């Protein structure tokens, strides 16, 4: 297969060019080798790695968590147990966020339910937002 340019990599993965550049800058994507004309020469390993990063981001992993996962993968000696520890920590964080969102939903729904929707200056939502916590 011929070497891929950054635009090719973006097209194959659906990742923005600037995002690819950023991932290279912060070190989660390795610097690709250069051609004789000094163009970046990406290959299928870059495609796989970028897809891994993008999927992890879709699942809500932070870049630091992704860096930790990639360190295990790059070391070549990762165990399922090591990956599970990282994934369990992320899952706990996701569950805490869901609990917070459910609490926010409950408070907001009860506040909105108090609104009459009439053309009057009094508004329970504004009153609730104006209250001190």
29, part of any domain: yes
Q: What pLDDT, on the 0 to 100 scale, is given for residue 118?
A: 80
Q: Count of CB atoms within 10 A of residue 96's CB?
A: 10
In a domain, 20, yes or no: yes
Q: Give the pTM.
A: 0.79
Place of tokens 């504004």: 126
Domain count, the chain: 1
Q: pLDDT tens for the chain, 133 residues: list them.
A: 589 999 999 999 999 999 999 999 999 999 999 989 999 999 999 999 999 999 999 999 999 999 999 998 888 777 889 899 999 999 999 999 999 999 999 989 998 898 887 877 888 888 888 887 6
Dihedral pair phi/psi, residue 131, rounded to 5°? -70, 150
DSSP letters for 2-48:
PPBPHHHHHHHHT--HHHHHHHHHHTSSPPPPB-TTS-B-B-HHHHH
Q: Is residue 108 in some structural domain?
A: no
Does residue 132 form part of some domain? no
In this structure, what CATH number is given to the domain that contains residue 49? 1.10.1660.10
């Amino acid at each position: 297969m011929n070497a891929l340019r950054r635009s090719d990599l973006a097209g194959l993965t659906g990742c923005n060019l600037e995002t690819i550049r950023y991932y290279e800058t912060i070190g989660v994507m390795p610097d690709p080798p250069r051609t004789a004309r000094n163009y970046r020469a990406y290959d299928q390993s870059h495609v796989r790695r970028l897809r891994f990063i993008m999927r992890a981001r879709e699942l809500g992993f932070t870049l630091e968590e992704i860096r930790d996962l990639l360190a295990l993968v790059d070391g070549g000696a990762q165990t399922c147990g090591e990956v599970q520890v990282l994934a369990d920590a992320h899952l706990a964080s996701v569950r805490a966020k869901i609990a917070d969102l459910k609490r926010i939903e409950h408070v907001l729904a009860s506040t909105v339910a108090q609104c009459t929707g009439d053309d009057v200056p009094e508004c329970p939502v504004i009153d609730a937002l104006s209250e001190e916590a």
